[in-house]
C-alpha cells in the first residue's frame, strides 16, 4: 500500500493548472486536511519541486514591476538547490516551491559559447510569444554542456470565478553543433473545467522539425508554424466532437419523437405527477 507521502505527492503532481496553491491554503481542500493535520509539508517539497519544474511554473522576480513578464522555473534553468536563472535578465533567484515565489535575486551573467544565438532566439521568441499568446513567459537556456539550447514557452489563463483554468506549454531542444539540425520537443495543452463536475483536456503533441540553418529566425519560424498547425488541429477536433460525440450524448427528441411543449407541460402525465394535479 502506498504511503501517505506517496499519495499526497501524487495528489500534488496531478494538480490541474493554477490549482496547486489551494493544497496549502486554508480556503479549500489541502494536503494537511487529507493527512489528518500531520505536518508533512516538508516531506512533500520534492513533489512541489517536480510539479513546478514540469509545469513550467512562473514566478515574479523581486523588485520587478507588474508589467514585466514572470520568469520560468524548469529543470533547464536550474543552477543548484532551489536556485534558478533567467538568461534574458541575466539573474539568478531562489524559489519557494510551496508558495511559488522568488527571492534573493542576484546577477548571473550568461556564460555560453552560444550567447549570441541565445540572445537572438530570445528576441525572436519574444516577438512570437507577444503576438500569439497573452499572459505568457518564455526562456532560452544553454543545455547539455553548451552543445544545445532549450526553448521554453508557457501561457496561463486562470478563471476560477468561472470554474476553469488552462495552460499551454511548449518545450523544444535544439543542438547547435552543425549548420543544419532538427528541433525536437513537445507541446502540452492542459485545461480544467470544474463547474458542477470535472471536465479535463490534457493533450501532448510531439514535435520534430528540420531546420536548414541554426539561426534564430529559421528556428522560431518553424516553431511558430508547428504551434499554428497544432492549434488548427485542435480546433478541427473540437468541431468534430461537438458535431459527433458530444451531440450523441444528448437525445435530440424524446422517445415519442415529438418535441415537448413546455408551456403545456401540465397536460402531460409526467407534468401531472410532478405538480400533483390534473391536466388542463
Instruction: Give the residue, 203 or 179, on which the prediction is more confident.
Output: 203
Which backbone phi and psi does 132 adopt, to 5 degrees? Answer: -115, -15
Mean pLDDT of 39-56: 90
| Residues 127, 218 within the same domain | yes
Is residue 43 in a domain?
Answer: no
176/182 Cα distance (integer angstroms): 10
257/28 Cα distance (integer angstroms): 46
Mean pLDDT of 39-52: 88
Is residue 71 in a domain?
Answer: yes
Q: Which three cell numbers stand for residue 187?
A: 507541446
Is residue 38 in a domain?
Answer: no
Is residue 155 in a domain?
Answer: yes
Which pLDDT band, with edges at 50, 70 and 90, does 29 fall under?
very low
Residues 6+ apart with CB under 8 A from 206: 185, 186
Give all strands (DSSP E) within 38-126, no chain letters: 58-59, 71-72, 78-80, 83-86, 91-96, 101-107
Which backbone phi and psi does 233 adopt, to 5 degrees? Answer: -65, -40
Mean pLDDT of 154-164: 94
Q: State residue 19's pLDDT score.
A: 86
Give all strands (DSSP E) within the chain, no chain letters: 58-59, 71-72, 78-80, 83-86, 91-96, 101-107, 136-143, 148-159, 164-175, 181-193, 199-211
Is residue 48 in a domain?
Answer: no
| Residues 147, 265 within the same domain | no
Q: Is the pLDDT of residue 273 over 60?
A: no
Q: Is the pLDDT of residue 270 over 50?
A: yes
Residues 6+ apart with CB under 8 A from 199: 192, 193
| Residues 262, 176 within the same domain | no
Number of domains in the chain: 2
Mean pLDDT of 74-83: 96
Mean pLDDT of 63-75: 86
83 burial (CB, 10 Å; 0-12 / 13-18 / 19+) is middle
Expressed as residue numbers, the domain containing 271 is 256-280
Which pLDDT band, with edges at 50, 70 and 90, does 33 fall under?
low
∠12-18-20 over CA atoms, to 5°?
20
| Residues 112, 236 within the same domain | yes
Q: State residue 239's pLDDT score.
A: 84
Q: Is the pLDDT of residue 229 over 70?
A: yes
| Residues 134, 161 within the same domain | yes
Is residue 47 in a domain?
Answer: no
Q: Is the pLDDT of residue 50 over 60?
A: yes
| Residues 188, 261 within the same domain | no
Which pLDDT band, with edges at 50, 70 and 90, does 246 fall under?
low
Instruction: Give the residue, 150 or 181, on which the prediction is more confident.
Output: 150
| Residues 230, 125 within the same domain | yes
Is residue 26 in a domain?
Answer: no
| Residues 261, 229 within the same domain | no
Q: Which three cell numbers stand for residue 130?
A: 507577444
Q: Which three cell numbers stand for residue 12?
A: 500534488
Amino acid at each position: 500500500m502506498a504511503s501517505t507521502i506517496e499519495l499526497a505527492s501524487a495528489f500534488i503532481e496531478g494538480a490541474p493548472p493554477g490549482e496547486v496553491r489551494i493544497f496549502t491554503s486554508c480556503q479549500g481542500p489541502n494536503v494537511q486536511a487529507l493527512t489528518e493535520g500531520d505536518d508533512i509539508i516538508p516531506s512533500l517539497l520534492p513533489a512541489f519541486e517536480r510539479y513546478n519544474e514540469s509545469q513550467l511554473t512562473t514566478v515574479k522576480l523581486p523588485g520587478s514591476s507588474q508589467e514585466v513578464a514572470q520568469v520560468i522555473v524548469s529543470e533547464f534553468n536550474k543552477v543548484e538547490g532551489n536556485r534558478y536563472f533567467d538568461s534574458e535578465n541575466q539573474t539568478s533567484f531562489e524559489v519557494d516551491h510551496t508558495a511559488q515565489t522568488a527571492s534573493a535575486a542576484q546577477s548571473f551573467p550568461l556564460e555560453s559559447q552560444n550567447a549570441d544565438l541565445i540572445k537572438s532566439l530570445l528576441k525572436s521568441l519574444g516577438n512570437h510569444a507577444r503576438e500569439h499568446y497573452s499572459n505568457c513567459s518564455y526562456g532560452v537556456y544553454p543545455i547539455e554542456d553548451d552543445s544545445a539550447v532549450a526553448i521554453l514557452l508557457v501561457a496561463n489563463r486562470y478563471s476560477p470565478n468561472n470554474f476553469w483554468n488552462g495552460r499551454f506549454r511548449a518545450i523544444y531542444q535544439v543542438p547547435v553543433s552543425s549548420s543544419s539540425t532538427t528541433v525536437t520537443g513537445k507541446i502540452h495543452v492542459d485545461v480544467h473545467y470544474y463547474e458542477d463536475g470535472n471536465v479535463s483536456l490534457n493533450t501532448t503533441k510531439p514535435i520534430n522539425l528540420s531546420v536548414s540553418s541554426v539561426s534564430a529566425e529559421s528556428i522560431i519560424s518553424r516553431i511558430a508554424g508547428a504551434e499554428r498547425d497544432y492549434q488548427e488541429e485542435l480546433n478541427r477536433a473540437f468541431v468534430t466532437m461537438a458535431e459527433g460525440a458530444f451531440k450523441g450524448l444528448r437525445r435530440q427528441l424524446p422517445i415519442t419523437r415529438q418535441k415537448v411543449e413546455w408551456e403545456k407541460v401540465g397536460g402531460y402525465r409526467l407534468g401531472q405527477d410532478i405538480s400533483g394535479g390534473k391536466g388542463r
